Amino acid sequence: MFRLKQRLEGPTLGDIPATVRESLGSLRLQVRVKPRETVAITSGSRGIANIDRITPAVVAKSAANGTEKVRAPW
């Protein structure tokens, strides 16, 4: 038996919050999700680099669209 470690290289993003805003903007969610509607945002960190920067950017974009935030206990 031997130990194996896999390292996957992927593209890098310079400005993660801007990329998140642009990506979410292209989905046109403001057409389907109206202001003052409640939206749940979930995330998992397995294998996602910079999740600590991506998740707040998603929350900020959602708030900019006027959605209500709610906290869900674990």
pLDDT tens for residues 9-30? 878 888 999 999 999 999 988 8
Q: What is the pTM of this model?
A: 0.74
User: Angle at CA 61, nearest 5°, toward 43 and 13?
Assistant: 70
Task: Name the DSSP class of 65.
Answer: T
**Residues of the chain whose pLDDT is less than 50?**
none
For residue 55, give the nearest of 46, 65, 44, 47 by alpha carbon: 44
